[in-house]
Structure 1
Amino acid sequence: MATMKDIAKLAGVSSSTVSHVINKSRYVSEEISERVNKAAKELNYFPSALARSLKTNRTNTIGMLVTNSTNPFFGEVVKGVERHCYQRGYNLILCNTEGDQARMRDSIETLMQKRVDGLILMCPSLEGEKLEVFDKYPSIPLVVMDWGSVSFESDKIQDNSLQGGYIATKHLLDCGHKDIGCITGPLSKHQAQMRLDGFKQALNEFDIDLNQEWIEEGNFECEGGFEALERLIAKGELPSALFVCNDMMAMGALNAAAKHGIKIPQDLSVIGYDDLHISKFMTPALTTIHQPKFRLGKAAVDAVLNKLQSQDSEHQIVQLEPKLVERDTVRPL
């Protein structure tokens, strides 16, 4: 691999001159700069990111850990993170924890060894876990996305799930539905509980009694939605409408409905949550709550970079607001 000394020898200049041209740290005449750049090209020279990071104490790299999931929601958020990293001149290293705490610790150690400037965590499957590994790196900015309570200091980026659950249920109520059920996410998770609380709040405001028989807990995956609707069907009478607390479970529920000859929305209205890209291409297209996934990613990157610029700033919670997206799976009564 070529070095600056090799370039200096070929170009007939000093190593310090080569350094000034490569790093643009001082004015060098156009004629000499051209010789240096020509020599660098001939030698296939690439600046050492490691050497630069040792000098600046920055690698311009952000690490991100995500829980393994078939839910495209994670991929859409990661896309927003990666794009904004690129726009800000940063690289992204992505690690998959597969919901395993030991693997998460190992991944964090690996990222620290690679000298990342900050970490973004999107691992709600590890919600509430004690992660002592962060005690070893108190100066590394941490940003948590879509997570509940944490045992370490960090900024937090999340959607307003309480408001989202309320908006979804209020839409069903505004359409004339009074018999409304809910397929929740795992209620040990903060966001799932908040969406259920929003559901209950809307029912309460409309003086509608909560029917506990129409509440089923899912797992935020297609299988969970399918199995939850199967359980509701087995109980006998169905509600006229369902708030399903994410789009993946809504897809599973629609599949179970088709299996039993239940027409959507003629027999059962369904509203989801997340507004995945594929939701509008379902048949029928899914009415849902839009979660600003790209903005979640952008806000997480901005939080890391702001923390790098001002390490003494207080930790903040950035909450993005959801909104209703009307399509074809809810009918008015």
Structure 2
Amino acid sequence: MNIYDIAELAGVSIATVSRVVNDSPMVSEKTKRRVRKVMEENNYTPNVFARGLGLDSMKTVGLMCPNVADAYMARAVAYLEQNLKEYGYDCILYCSGYDDEERRVAVNSILQKRIDALVLIGSSYAEDDEDSEKVEYIREAAKQVPVFMMNGCIRGENIYCALCNDFQAAHMAVTELIQTGKEDILFLSDSHSYSANQKLKGYQQALRDAGMPVNEKLCVYAENRIDRVRDLLLSRNDLMFDAVFATEDGLAIGALKYAKKRNLSVPRDISIIGYNNSELSVCCDPELSTVDSRGERLCKIIIDSMMLRLKNREIRSKVYANGFLVRRETTDF
């Protein structure tokens, strides 16, 4: 039994069935009762296609991230999917990878699913100041549906961005390390994404504000795998540092493993701060001090903004949320 059968049995169009499913005021109560009776008698459960017909909406949102195995992205997908469902929206998830061409293909593919809006999760989709043409495919997508970016930013019509103020959060965390007497602070990152670059700028500015030099040698990039970070730091006998500010919790735990191998006391000999306040930060011993990057807050901003935008209401193109420091055992603030 499908929507066409229900329409035929009720003597109405499939668009009318769809409007009944969505409780549209365009259908009289008498017709609604007749259609609903046919649906009940035939145990008909409307699907997303039935809800969308005749309303120029499929009540479906596209979610896209580079890799759902990433803890930050997985949490965002789970929060968005659960809360959009409360508004009656289904979700389609695509994992695009990090390659520029793969991302372009993925966006074009998800647009063919007739979605009402697209959410891009993660700063790898953000605009590169040196080559803005790389994200032209996203601007093109925004001509079809509203595009919402989580922790990324692109200038363009119908593109709306919710970001953690990574510059502010990094500046705050590094400043606190400096105030505890730390002088050689390692910046540890796994990418050159928009978000990571904002954290780097915050780190550098905190040093300058304290009258300390920015030592490029202390800016280290590593794969976000705990064992790889540990081994890299162990191999770098040229590095001398008494604190670590990492752009991901996994990187910070790699530094914690390094400290254990070196028999360094944490936080007396070395203080460590991670980023994202993930489950990893409380699964280690000692528990990790970390920046809460307000992931759930950004998701809520996106959902609230989307519901307004889909009602043709005006919304802000860019909204920031300030991160805050969660003090645990790897620092002595």
TM range (shorter): 0.7 to 0.9
Residue 229, structure 1, aligned to residue 230, structure 2: no
Alpha-carbon separation, structure 2, partners of 1:288 and 1:220: 16
Which residue does 1:104 correspond to in 2?
103
Tell me if the contact between 2:267 and 2:331 (Cα under 8 Å) persists in the aligned partners.
yes
Alpha-carbon separation, structure 1, partners of 2:68 and 2:78: 15
Tell me if the contact between 2:148 and 2:160 (Cα under 8 Å) persists in the aligned partners.
yes
Q: Map 1:264-303; keep pairs closer than 5 Å.
A: 264-303=266-305
Deviations 1:241-267, CA, capped at 9 Å, x for gaps: 111122121122222333333332232
Deviations 1:82-117, CA, capped at 9 Å, x for gaps: 122122221111110121333333332332222100
Alpha-carbon separation, structure 2, partners of 1:75 and 1:6: 39
Change over 3 Å in CA distance of 1:6–1:270 after alignment to 2: closer
Deviation at 1:15, TM superposition (A): 4.7
Which residue does 1:143 correspond to in 2?
148
Which residue does 1:75 correspond to in 2?
74
Which residue does 2:247 correspond to in 1?
245
Higher alpha-carbon deviation: 35-44 or 140-149: 35-44
Tell me if the contact between 2:189 and 2:196 (Cα under 8 Å) persists in the aligned partners.
yes
Alpha-carbon separation, structure 2, partners of 1:227 and 1:190: 27
The one-letter amino acid of 2:321's match is L
What residue ranges of structure 2 are gaps of 5+ in the alignment?
129-133
Which residue does 1:197 correspond to in 2?
201
What is the DSSP-based 3-state SS (H/G/I as helix, E as strand, rest coil) of the residue aligned with 1:181?
Answer: strand
What is the DSSP-based 3-state SS (H/G/I as helix, E as strand, rest coil) of the residue aligned with 2:84?
Answer: helix
Deviation at 1:146, TM superposition (A): 1.9
The one-letter amino acid of 1:212's match is E
Deviations 1:178-206, CA, capped at 9 Å, x for gaps: 332221342x3222121122112222222
Deviation at 1:314, TM superposition (A): 6.8
Tell me if the contact between 1:7 and 1:43 (Cα under 8 Å) persists in the aligned partners.
no
Query: TM-score, normalised to structure 1's length?
Result: 0.83
How many pairs does the alignment contain? 321
What residue ranges of structure 1 are gaps of 5+ in the alignment?
none
Change over 3 Å in CA distance of 1:141–1:148 after alignment to 2: closer
Alpha-carbon separation, structure 1, partners of 2:20 and 2:198: 56
Which residue does 2:131 correspond to in 1?
none
Change over 3 Å in CA distance of 1:227–1:194 after alignment to 2: farther
Alpha-carbon separation, structure 2, partners of 1:22 and 1:71: 37
Higher alpha-carbon deviation: 158-167 or 95-104: 95-104
Change over 3 Å in CA distance of 1:217–1:138 after alignment to 2: same
Tell me if the contact between 1:60 and 1:117 (Cα under 8 Å) persists in the aligned partners.
yes
Deviations 1:20-58, CA, capped at 9 Å, x for gaps: 8655433249xx94x865653442212353244231101
- The alignment yields a C-alpha RMSD, in angstroms, of 3.1
161, 164, 187: which one pairs with 2:166? 161
Query: TM-score, normalised to structure 2's length?
Result: 0.83
What is the DSSP-based 3-state SS (H/G/I as helix, E as strand, rest coil) of the residue aligned with 2:119?
Answer: strand
Alpha-carbon separation, structure 2, partners of 1:146 and 1:6: 44
Change over 3 Å in CA distance of 1:139–1:38 after alignment to 2: closer
Residue 176, structure 1, aligned to residue 176, structure 2: no
Alpha-carbon separation, structure 2, partners of 1:94 and 1:318: 24
Alpha-carbon separation, structure 1, partners of 2:269 and 2:92: 47
Deviation at 1:139, TM superposition (A): 3.4
Tell me if the contact between 1:159 and 1:319 (Cα under 8 Å) persists in the aligned partners.
yes
Which residue does 2:55 correspond to in 1?
56
The structure with the largest alpha-carbon Rg is 1
Higher alpha-carbon deviation: 129-138 or 93-102: 129-138
Identity of aligned residues (%): 24
Alpha-carbon separation, structure 1, partners of 2:67 and 2:20: 44
The one-letter amino acid of 1:162's match is F
